[in-house]
């Protein structure tokens, strides 16, 4: 199964017999058998027929709309999961401050540990370039402080301090012309932040779809508080995947010069990938997220399957109070 990224501006997605067809100016650009696709992402000015929308909804195919620069707009939403019991349990847990605190600590600890591993890996591969000793010690200090925190807000404070430590070290890993100085979100002020923003949007969209599909309310999280329009649960569950997937992908794309400065352009007060370069990014994103590895249960798996596994584990946490273990890099 695959993801269909539609980037050709002015193109139209239609349903013909047992296949989806992408056409433009009365010419067929692509034909996809309906059984070979499990998600569709439409960027910018892409049209979609009523028949195609109906098919996507009935087939449960994830379909999301984004701006040409990768900012999420919305999605086709099929009939909501009937698992009302899971949502009731989630609502009850969200009002339990001790439960929220425990989960927040678990999520933040997992994220910090993955940040440590990424720095350690880089140090082993490039021992003469950087010294991350101080950063790694500071990470350990953050982890030691977590058990003593009594409010989610103070756990968020630890996460913020660890993020500052991490991004200072992250900038030292770039060996080519493209550099990273500080984190900027919307809009991205440099190419590296543009890549991070796009990648984080993609994994958030995937996690949103999965949490919705099993019956969660994706807007009610435990580390991330409730805020209008913010998919807090999806954001909770991608924290453990930011460094292993998106940050590693970004380093690879820059340091191997798969993407270079002329792949980016300045628009709408920010820096974004050019059209052809976005296609290259999505090819590498798919390769990264589908790369097989051994999970802690000695099972051959990829990150997309691991997303689903972790959502299922979160279901067990909410309904059965089975402790949740974040994905950890090795």
Q: What is the rounded CA–CA span in Å between residue 186 and residue 317? A: 33
Q: Residue 35 pLDDT > 70, yes or no?
A: no
Residues 174 and 251: beta-carbon distance below 8 Å:
yes
Which position has the higher pLDDT, 1 or 109? 109
Q: What is the pLDDT of residues 37-62, one digit of tens each?
A: 777 888 888 889 998 888 888 887 87
What letter does residue 273 receive in the DSSP assignment? E
Q: What domains are defined for the chain?
A: 2-75 (3.100.10.20), 85-320 (1.20.120.920)
Which position has the higher pLDDT, 302 or 113? 113
Percent of the chain with pLDDT over 70: 97
pLDDT of residue 81: 62
pLDDT of residue 153: 94
Q: How confident is the model at residue 136 (pLDDT cuts 50, 70, 90)?
A: very high
Average pLDDT for 304-324: 93
Tell me the backbone φ, ψ of residue 18, rounded to 5 degrees: -110, 35
Q: Which residue, chain included where needed, has tokens 């790694």? A: 136
Q: What is the pLDDT of residues 206-215, one digit of tens each?
A: 898 889 888 8
Q: Residue 1 pLDDT > 60, yes or no?
A: no
Cα separation values, 83 from 14, 79, 89, 222, Å: 32, 12, 10, 20
pLDDT of residue 69: 72
Average pLDDT for 22-27: 85
Q: Which residue, chain included where needed, has tokens 């997605």? A: 13
Q: What is the rounded CA–CA span in Å between residue 106 and residue 323? A: 9
Question: Which of 71-75, 77-81, 161-165, 303-307 tops mean pLDDT?
Answer: 161-165
Cα separation values, 316 from 121, 231, 257, Å: 32, 20, 42
pLDDT of residue 149: 94
- Please provide the average confidence, as pLDDT, over all residues in the chain: 88
Q: How confident is the model at residue 299 (pLDDT cuts 50, 70, 90)?
A: confident
Average pLDDT for 191-198: 94
Q: Which residue, chain included where needed, has tokens 């380093």? A: 251
Question: Which of 76-80, 108-112, 170-174, 253-257 tops mean pLDDT?
Answer: 108-112
Q: What is the rounded CA–CA span in Å between residue 273 and residue 264? A: 4
Burial-class residue 13 by CB neighbours within 10 Å (0-12, 13-18, 19+): buried
Buried b (16+ CB within 10 A) or exposed e, 177-193: ebebeebbeebbbbbbb
pLDDT of residue 46: 87
Average pLDDT for 72-94: 82
Q: What is the rounded CA–CA span in Å between residue 218 and residue 198? A: 20
């Amino acid at each position: 199964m695959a993801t269909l990224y539609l980037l050709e501006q002015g193109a139209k997605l239609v349903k013909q017999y047992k296949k989806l067809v992408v056409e433009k100016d009365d010419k067929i650009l692509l034909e996809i058998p309906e059984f070979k696709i499990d998600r569709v992402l439409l960027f910018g000015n892409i049209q979609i027929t009523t028949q195609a929308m109906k098919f996507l909804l009935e087939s449960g195919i994830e379909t999301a709309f984004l701006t040409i620069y990768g900012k999420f707009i919305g999605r086709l939403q099929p009939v909501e999961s009937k698992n009302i019991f899971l949502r009731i349990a989630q609502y009850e847990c969200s009002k339990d401050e001790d439960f929220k605190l425990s989960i927040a600590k678990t999520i933040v600890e997992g994220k910090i540990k993955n940040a440590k591993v990424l720095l350690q890996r880089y140090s082993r591969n490039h021992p003469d370039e950087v010294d991350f000793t101080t950063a790694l010690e500071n990470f350990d200090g953050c982890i030691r402080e977590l058990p003593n925190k009594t409010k989610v807000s103070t756990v968020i404070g630890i996460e913020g301090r660890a993020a500052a430590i991490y991004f200072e070290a992250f900038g030292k890993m770039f060996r080519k012309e493209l550099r990273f100085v500080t984190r900027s979100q919307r809009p991205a002020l440099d190419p590296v932040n543009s890549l991070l923003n796009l990648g984080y949007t993609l994994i958030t969209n995937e996690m949103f779809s999965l949490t919705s599909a099993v019956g969660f309310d994706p807007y009610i999280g435990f580390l991330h508080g409730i805020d209008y329009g913010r998919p807090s649960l999806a954001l909770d569950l991608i924290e453990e995947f930011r460094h292993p997937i998106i940050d590693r992908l970004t380093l690879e794309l820059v340091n191997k010069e798969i993407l270079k400065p002329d792949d980016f352009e300045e628009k709408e007060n920010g820096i974004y990938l050019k059209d052809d370069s976005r296609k290259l990014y999505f090819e590498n994103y798919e390769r990264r997220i589908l790369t097989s590895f051994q999970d802690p249960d000695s099972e051959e798996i990829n990150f997309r399957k691991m997303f689903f596994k972790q959502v299922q584990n979160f279901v067990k946490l909410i309904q059965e109070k089975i402790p949740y273990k974040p994905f950890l890099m090795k």
